[in-house]
Each structure stands twice: as structure tokens, then as C-alpha cells.
Amino acid sequence: MSADHTLQLPSSNYGPFGRPLFNDPSVRKLARVGVVDIGSNSVRMVIFDGAARSPAYFYNEKVMCALGAGIAETGHLNPKGRDRALAAVARFEAIAQSLGISPLTAVATAAVRDATDGPDFCADVLRETGLQVHVIDGPEEARLSAQGVLLGWPGSYGLVCDIGGASMELAEIRDGRVGKCVTSSLGPLKLQSMKGGAKARKAYAKEVISDLREQIGEQKDRLFLVGGSWRAIARIDMHRRGYPLHVLHEYRMTPKSVRDTVKFIAQSNIEDLRSACDISSARMALVPIASEVLKILISKVKPTDIAISSYGIREGMLYEQMPQKLRDRDPLIESARFSESKDARLPGFGKTLYDFIMPLFKSAPATTKRLVKAASLLHDVSWRAHPDFRAEVCFDNSTRANMGGLSHQERVFLGLALMHRYRNKREGTRFDDLFDLIPPEQQKQAEILGKAMRFGAMLWMEKDAQFGEMRWFPKKKQLELRLHPSAKALFSEVAEARLSSLATSLGAEVTVKFTKPSTEVPEV
């Protein structure tokens, strides 16, 4: 991207972010942008693309370098890790150049900022790749990680804990804003070589976390966990519980569940557990130590619940560039809009479909109406899949997609609705064990939504066409379809069968009238 197309900010001092990342932050699309995070344990490059408020991972690569290994004893970066990190950054910059998105935005955290040879490493990177590495301090690392959480959880509240190899940060978030930020040296790579073994580590962790707790104040809301070691522990928690949806982002745990999993880790064969949970050897070596820290953290903070965030410092750097009006948008809806514009056969028809089916959900809570809107936008984006597998592809895409602002229960609801967009029954699929993540009444509601979309898609005309309306009288269990005369030819035998299937799910009697549509504006 040439400089003349770059958004000009009031000041040319962009800090660690270099050039602004967005051409125009007020639109939903962004040019591909690449971020490199040089951590104490891993070095990762992510290239984002897609909807600006909910960017997708166009490219994502990580190298476990263990830059911070041994730093507590030597004061220097791990020599082998340093060579690997330098090679990784050189590769990443070469990829960025081939994609036309160079230069990358690169930040380094605890290991590089703490090591005496950290400046030399940054100079090597600059000399060999031309890439300027910005070394950020602990509070800034905490702030950016918290902003990454806000990218996926707009308006969220609680405490963000980001653990890396050589440090652990805490930041409070409330009403969509970052509050106090504190940092510590509680990284498992540092604790690994601590003299005195497990007993000394636990005593030190208790002391440090108590101090952090005093600095940041009482935080008894949700605890958001950011970082590879926390994600590994979440994988093990899923394995222990037999949890069926293997999506880490927004995975929830209770304090009791975490305590049980810490005990489970301590009692398990580490290699067997690593293999069962598909965790790398380098990461698994740190899990027992990280689990000790997490147990102490939860005992001191006493959160109501714990949530895993796959978004952290890299996403926080994107969030930093967003104007408030973009931050205020719903990441789920923005992502669905982008998907519709890119993949649907008739972009824009999703809104027409939403208006048509909304009478069925007029009294639904706002959280459900939001999912109805997302489903309407996504109803046709998987049309390229083979018809025999289209319903399952829809469910799989919805439950496992990289979309923010979706709890696991909402993923299943959305997936079920889109599955019913293409088939009447949901039984007999490979996803049957996931359906019970939502209660039966929500399963039925998702079925109704899917069948309403399945019928509405039969009345396909121009995206802004007034082909008719539905009226729903829930107390009388009556469904009335009023079709515009111009849509009469579209109401075929197949369409009539789909309407009948919808009425069956509603437990309703249905009547059809051909008349001009009402001027009443549907509730949005």
C-alpha cells in the first residue's frame, strides 16, 4: 500500500504501530496488514484481512523460539532461540514482501526488553530484514492484550490476564475501556529454572499475585485468559470434561473446573496428556508451572467465571487503530456482512430476508434478534458446497469460524439455524453431540429460524423487492402469509411444502393471501 493512500493521523508519531493500518477506518474492509509478535516463548506473524471490525486470519504462523529461556540466570537471550527468532522474522518479512504488504508491524515483549542483549537483537533484525522492532513495556503489553479482548468482546468487563514466557500482565476492562494495567515476571520460562523447585515457585507466585491484586484492586467479574499456556490448559480442561466443541475462543471454565484440571495435570503422564490434547512439546513443558500460577491467581482474584480469549496483543494493535465508531460496531454482524458481500449469490438479500422473517421473532430478546440478523446475512454464503453436504458445511463453518462476539452456545444456535436453512431434520449428522450445548427450546427456535430462511429464500427476487410479509399470532398459533401479486409465480409446490414445514415447527395453522404488503415497518 503506497503512502498516499494511508490515513493521515494528526501526529506522525505512531509509536510501536508505525504507519496506520487502515486505508479508511470508517469502512468495513481493510487492506491486508501483518503483525509480528516477538514473545519470550514464541515468535508469530499474523496477516489480517476481511471485515475491519472482525478481521480474519489470512495467514498465521508461529515458531517456538524460547527466546526467554535461561534469561533469569544469564541476563541474555537464549542464543539458539535468538538465531531461530531472527530466521523466523526474516522469513515473515519475505512473505510480507511477496504479498505486497511490507513492512510488517513488529513488537517485542518481556524477553527482549529484559535481556541485556535485547537492543543488539533488534539491531540484527533491522540490519538483516529492514524491520523496525518496537520493544514495549509491561503495562503497554497489558493494555494491548486487553484491547485484543475488547476486539472480540465489545463492552466487556472484568480482568484480563496475559501470560507469556517471561512475564504475566493484568489489565482491567469495563464498559469497553481499559483501566489499570500491571505487570510481573511470572512467566513460566522464568519460573522453570527457579531455585527451590515447586515449593519456592508457589510461594513466589503467591507473593507476586497478592501484590498485583493490591495494585489493581478488587476484580470479581470475569477473568479473561490470554496466552498460549492458558490455551493449552483450556485444551486439557476440554479433554478432561469430554467437551465436544473444540473451539478455544470464548471457552468458559468455572473456578472449580480449573482447580480440577490443575489436579488432573499433576496426576497425569505429561507425554500422554500432550499427545491426547495435541499440544507441542515446548508448550507442554510449561503447562504444569503455568497451571500452578493459574490456580493461585484464581484463589486470589476470585472471578465469577473464566473465559479463554484467542485475541491478544496482535489484535490489540489492530484495535488501537480503530476510531470509536468502528469499535462500537458488532463484530459478528460486521463479519457476516463481509461474508455476504464476498460469497453470497445476491449480496444485500440478507436484509430483505431478515425483514421478512422478523415477525416470527418480534418478542424475542435482543440477543436472539442479533443472531437472526447474522443468520439472514449468512444464509447463502455456503452455496458452493455440494448439496449433499451443504447443511453440515454451514454448521461446521458457523461453529468453528473465526468470528468474534459469539459464545459457544450462540455458535451452536447459529449453526443449527443455518443447517435447517438447507434441511428439515438435524438428526443423523456428525455434529449431534454438539446440539445439547443449548437447551431444547433454543434448538427449536433455531429450527424455526432455519426453516423460515429456507422458505424465504424460495421467494428470491431483487434484494429490495417487496414480495410479501408474514404475520405471526403466537397465542392463536396462526401464521399468515401475505404475498404480493408479483410473487405469485414464486409460490410453487416446493415453496408451499417449505411453508408447511415451518408451520409444523411452529405448531401453527397457516393461511395464504395474495395482497399488497403492509406499510408497517418491521421491528429491527
Output the nine-digit C-alpha cell for 406: 459469539
CA distance 304 to 240: 21
Q: What is the pTM of this model?
A: 0.88
Long-range contacts, 199-204 (Cβ 8 Å, 24+): 201/289, 201/292, 202/292, 202/296
CB contact at 8 A, 261 and 198: no
Low-confidence ranges of the chain (pLDDT < 70): 1-31, 51, 461-466, 516-524
**What local confidence, expressed as pLDDT, does residue 464 receive?**
62
322 phi and psi, to 5 degrees?
-80, 135
Give the other-Cβ count within 10 Å of 442's Cβ: 18
Nearest to 164 by CA among 332, 76, 293, 351: 293
- Give the strands of the sheet with 158-163, arranged side by side: 177-184, 168-174, 158-163, 222-226, 305-309, 252-253
Strands annotated E in 248-367: 252-253, 305-309
**What local confidence, expressed as pLDDT, does residue 522 receive?**
44
Domains for the chain: give ranges and CATH numbers.
3-136 (3.30.420.40), 139-314 (3.30.420.150), 331-514 (1.10.3210.10)
Q: Name residue 48's beta-bridge partners.
A: 33, 57
| Spatial CB neighbours of 237, under 8 Å, sequence gap ≥ 6 | 243, 251, 253, 257, 258, 261
CA distance 298 to 259: 9
